[in-house]
Amino acid sequence: MRLPLSRVRWDRKLRTAMLFVLMLVGWIGVHGILTLLATHAEAEQQLNLVGSLARANRALEAQERQLSQPATIVRDARALGMVRSNEQAYVITGLPSGH
């Protein structure tokens, strides 16, 4: 007895559909792993940046503490030629140049 030619081969269609689903799941898995690895690398870069910025922040805070001390303010002001209001300023001119 021969089978009619119009009969659908469901076993082949099912295998093809299962192969397609398996490939789709594999692609999704690979894409997910690649995304995870990229995210991990980016997170590591961001952590390095945060550490660098934290060190810079600590250095700036130390500099701020130093610059806000009265002795530092007076020293820097004198280096700029400033005098206190109750002091007399003198300018010496005509000195020989050291050349």
11-58 tens-digit pLDDT: 888 999 999 999 999 999 999 999 999 999 999 999 999 999 999 999
Predicted TM-score (pTM) of this structure: 0.53
66 in Cβ contact with 72 (< 8 Å):
yes
